[in-house]
Amino acid sequence: MKVAVVGATGLVGTKMLQVLAERNFPVTELIPVASEKSVGKEVSFKGKQYKIVSMVDAIAMKPAVALFSAGGDTSKQWAPEFAKAGITVIDNSSAWRMDPTKKLVVPEINADELTADDKIIANPNCSTIQMVVALNPLHIKYGCKRLVVSTYQSVTGTGVKAVNQLMNERKGIEGEMAYKYPIDLNVIPQIDVFLENGYTKEEMKMVNETKKIMRDDSIRVTATTVRIPVMGGHSESVNIEFENEFTLDEVKSILSSSPGVVLVDDPATQQYPMPKDAHERDEVFVGRLRRDETQPKTLNMWVVSDNLRKGAATNAVQIAEYLIGKGLI
């Protein structure tokens, strides 16, 4: 099928092309789309070169599906135009996530909500995706009552500019700053802009998206999101208060058999998930499982995933694969 990748030259767009190739997605014709200044340049896919085209030209070429990773403003302007032409859009920006008329999908959890009428489908925030993949099987068994999450997010979540800032600082080179402060040898407790309630937009994304994806508005979520000087892979410390009692052995058994989850949890041999181990992997890695000894029915866990893959590109491609498998596109 014809597949458009909108934002094909960005970090996530480039990763989408890689994931499409790796998973042998049935691409008969690739339509790479980027900003006007990139039109006419070429991208490589499966050993062939493809010319970047404009939005208007891409719509005229009638792809079956368009994977968007070009920012919220671009998506708000152009996703409806693609949808009007009968093209299914899977959008990686925050533009449509909390729109009540749009589905917010992590395939392992709620792909069953999708229908042929869903022409704009939202891909969740990277930090939310990895948390809910680990959380949902436990929620089904024990019922999540309250979550306290602190994230440790890599610079690739910001983009190329942030990667360049980190590498320039490591080399002692002055350059363009993605952040207000140095990121090398530093930790910045702010991701996205601050809102009136004192939380950042990223923190509130985790609060609101979790409830929507897991289909349970009663879950209470509070988050602190932090940028760290790591090149790729987000890490999260998650404290979960359940409605029902659990045993650690049962939790480990559930996670070990959950799709998309890898359990790495052996304190005796210092085995636990780290960003470097999640690099270029599609799974969500979970470890440091232990009871919260300060209150009943409460679990601590550590969750790590590659934010450009499962946190963005892979999740979008998995949504498209589900749609194909169900004959919805």
Look at residues 22, 8, 119 and name the one whose alpha carbon lies nearest to residue 58: 8
Pick the catalytic residue from 126, 139, 144, 279.
Answer: 126
For residue 71, count other CB atoms closer than 10 A to its CB. 17
pTM value?
0.95
Q: In the numeric block, which tokens belong to residue 95?
A: 């533009």
Q: What is the pLDDT of residues 215-244, one digit of tens each?
A: 999 999 999 999 999 999 999 999 999 999
Integer Cα distance of 295 and 255 in angstroms: 22
Answer yes or no: 144 catalytic. no
Q: Same CATH topology for 2-124+312-325 and 127-307?
A: no
Helices 201-213 and 126-142 meet at what angle, rounded to 10? 40
Contact 108, 260 (CB under 8 A): yes
In sequence order, what are the residues at sequence separation of 6 or more whose Cβ sits closer than 8 angstroms to the Cβ of residue 102? Answer: 96, 118, 120, 121, 122
| Coil/strand/helix, residue 258 | coil
Q: What is the pLDDT of residues 178-191, one digit of tens each?
A: 999 999 999 999 99
Residue 164, strand partner residues: none
Per-residue pLDDT 10s for the chain (329 aa) are 999 999 999 999 999 999 999 999 999 999 999 988 889 899 999 999 999 999 999 999 999 999 999 989 999 999 999 999 999 999 999 999 999 999 999 999 999 999 999 999 999 999 999 999 999 999 999 999 999 999 999 999 999 999 999 999 999 999 999 999 999 999 999 999 999 999 999 999 999 999 999 999 999 999 999 999 999 999 999 999 999 999 999 999 999 999 999 999 999 999 999 999 999 999 999 999 999 999 999 999 999 999 999 999 999 999 999 999 999 99
Report the largest interatomic distance among the alpha carbons of the chain, rounded to a whole angstrom.
Answer: 60
For residue 35, the model assigns a pLDDT of 86
Torsion angle in degrees (nearest 10) through CA of 272, 303, 134, 280 = -90
Integer Cα distance of 59 and 66 in angstroms: 9
Pick the catalytic residue from 139, 144, 234, 279.
Answer: 234
2-124+312-325 CATH fold: Rossmann fold (3.40.50)
Q: In the numeric block, which tokens belong to residue 191?
A: 């991701």
Average model confidence (pLDDT) for the chain? 97
Residue 240, strand partner residues: 147, 299
Residue 273, CA atoms < 13 Å, CB-side half-sphere: 29
The residue ranges of DSSP E strands in 28-114, in sequence order, are 29-33, 42-45, 48-51, 65-68, 88-91, 103-104
Triad 65, 69, 75: Cα angle to 5°: 80
Phi-psi region at 103: left, alpha or beta (left = phi > 0; alpha = psi -120 to 50): beta
127-307 CATH fold: Dihydrodipicolinate Reductase; domain 2 (3.30.360)
Domain layout of the chain by residue ranges: 2-124+312-325, 127-307
Integer Cα distance of 1 and 27 in angstroms: 5
Q: Can you list the pairs that 111-115 forms with residues at least 24 positions away whose Cβ atoms lie under 8 Å?
A: 111/319, 111/322, 114/319, 114/322, 114/323, 114/326, 114/328, 115/328
Integer Cα distance of 309 and 315 in angstroms: 7
3-state secondary structure 160-178: HHHHHHHHHHHHCCCCCCC
Q: What is the pLDDT of residues 116-134, one digit of tens each?
A: 999 999 999 999 999 999 9
